[in-house]
Amino acid sequence: MHKSLFLTVAFCLFAVSVGLAQTTQPNLSPEVLQSNELNSEVLKLYNAGQYDEALPLAKRALELREKVLGSSHETLIPLLINLGEIYRAKKKPGEAKSYLERSLEIGKKVFGPEDVRITRALDRLAFVIYEQRNEKDGESLLALSLRIKEKALGPDNPEVAHTAFNLGEMYRLHRDYPKAEPLYQQAIRIREKSAGKDNPELVQALQGYVTVLFAQNKTAEGGQVQKRIAELLGESGTIQAGILNGRAVKLVQPSYPQAARRAHASGLVQVRVVIDENGRVIQARAVNAGSLDSALVAVSEEAASRSLFTPTLVSGKPVKVNGIIIYNFVAQ
């Protein structure tokens, strides 16, 4: 994630299913054509998880386009974002931040500081900065992106819901539950308007919402939201499966983070997961985050999201499964 998410320490942020940007350019010079071809190959390699192979091609695509169009042309923006995404996938946040900051600066100069087209860079930069444990700056950037999208796209746009949810996730991980709560409510309201019965993004927002409700001891409201989640999962054919630890083909174990070590943090982290028909985790959310060290919650959600399970069959057909993974941390 999260979930990427991203982001995904806990952001499946930035799980966030964040795709690399396609580029189009009317200038048909040989350099631009080659840049486009390289970028297409970068997309394929990135989607296949071949980041080391994608990186030199992405750099070459940028160099070719810069040679023809200069260092501040607007069509450099998606290529810079691509490089930021590749470095983020390679867990090199410093390099990712550099490329994303450059893409944002070009966007501000070309389009203006309040144009919705800069939010693509804003979102990704916010995730990278947050993952570097600069939580306040990451939250501020994402809040700016949300304000721009609300003004440009209207209050009910799915992009607004996406950013509101991600900002809610940031506040949740930072344990700022009063700020997280209305953002989840906003994402839920938008997603319910356009949701079909099988809408994992709506369930994801509801799961984040119920977590912050229980963290604030709002048990009655939390219980109602839990019922709503169960109804949606039931409508989508998702099986309730209880504790899943013993059913894992690969149960990824989280490391004991340094931040938790310094605080002598301990406890049981209960992570609710949704597993697809192939046994892969598609959602992971700690259900008791309010009582635990945030570093333990983050590494548990990330580990759960990378676990693998035996597919569950009902009448011989694979189905989705909803259950709990439990991680036990002992103070060190």
Tens digits of per-residue pLDDT, 42-88?
A: 988 988 889 999 999 999 999 999 999 999 999 999 999 999 999 99
Same domain, 131 and 245: no
Q: Residue 143: inside a domain, yes or no?
A: yes
pLDDT at 48: 83
Query: In this structure, is residue 182 part of a structural domain?
Result: no
CB 48 within 8 A of CB 85: no
Higher pLDDT, 106 or 277: 106
CATH number at residue 148: 1.25.40.10
Please tell me whether residues 148 and 14 are part of one structural domain.
yes
Round to whole Å and give the CA distance between 153 and 32: 31
Residues contacting 176, CB < 8 A, separation 6+:
none
Sign of torsion over alpha carbons 203, 207, 208, 209: positive
Does position 271 have pLDDT exceeding 80, yes or no?
A: yes
Buried/exposed code over 197-228 (b: 16+ C-beta within 10 A; e: otherwise): eebbbbbbbbbbbbbbbbbeebeeebeebbeb
Among candidate residues 153, 170, 193, the one where a domain is terminated = 153
282 found inside a domain: yes
Residues 271 and 142 in one domain: no
Looking at the predicted structure, is the pLDDT value of residue 233 above 70?
Answer: yes
Q: For position 14, what pLDDT does the model report?
A: 26
Q: Where a domain ends, among 124, 153, 182?
A: 153
Note the pLDDT of residue 126. Answer: 94
pLDDT, average across residues 227-248: 72
Among 125, 153, 181, residue at a domain's last position: 153
Residue 171 domain-assigned (yes or no): no
Q: Encode 137-148: b = buried (16+ Cβ within 10 Å), e = exposed.
A: ebbebbbbbbeb
Question: Are 209 and 247 in contact, with CB atoms under 8 Å apart?
Answer: no
Do residues 13 and 107 both lie within one domain?
yes
Output the pLDDT for position 312: 82
Alpha helix positions (H), the chain: 30-47, 51-69, 77-89, 93-111, 119-131, 135-153, 158-173, 177-194, 200-215, 219-235, 258-263, 294-305
> Among candidates 34, 31, 32, 1, which has minimal Cα distance to 18?
1
Q: Are 27 and 140 contained in the same domain?
A: yes
pLDDT reading at 94 higher than 80: yes
Report residue 220 as tokens.
Answer: 């009655």
pLDDT at 237 over 80: no
The per-residue pLDDT for 167 is 95
Above 60 in pLDDT, residue 213?
Answer: yes
Residue 178 — very low, low, confident or very high, per pLDDT cuts 50/70/90? very high
Q: Are residues 252 and 108 both part of a single domain? A: no
**Residue corresponding to tokens 């306040």:** 136
Specify the number of domains making up the chain: 2
pLDDT value of position 290: 66
Least confident piece of the model among 59-73, 90-104, 230-244: 230-244
Q: For 303-318, what is the mean pLDDT?
A: 86
Q: Is residue 196 part of a domain?
A: no
Dihedral sign computed on CA atoms, order 204, 324, 285, 314: negative
Q: Indicate if 28 and 141 belong to the same structural domain.
A: yes
**Residues of the domain holding 301:** 238-332
Is 137 in the same domain as 254?
A: no
Q: At what angle do helices 77-89 and 119-131 cross, to 10 degrees?
A: 20
Rounded to an integer, what distance in angstroms lies between the CA atom of residue 281 and that of residue 3?
9
**pLDDT at residue 2 is higher than 50:** no
Sign of CA dihedral 92, 177, 182, 202: positive
3-state secondary structure of 70: coil
Residue-wise pLDDT tens digits, 5-42? 333 333 222 222 233 444 444 447 899 899 989 999 99
Q: Chain-wide mean pLDDT for the chain?
A: 84
- Specify the CATH number for the domain of residue 280: 3.30.2420.10
- Percentage of the chain exceeding pLDDT 90: 41
In the DSSP assignment, the letter for residue 281 is: E
**Does the pLDDT at position 310 exceed 60?**
yes
Maximal C-alpha separation, the chain: 64
Q: What pLDDT, on a 0 to 100 scale, did the predictor assign at position 13?
A: 26
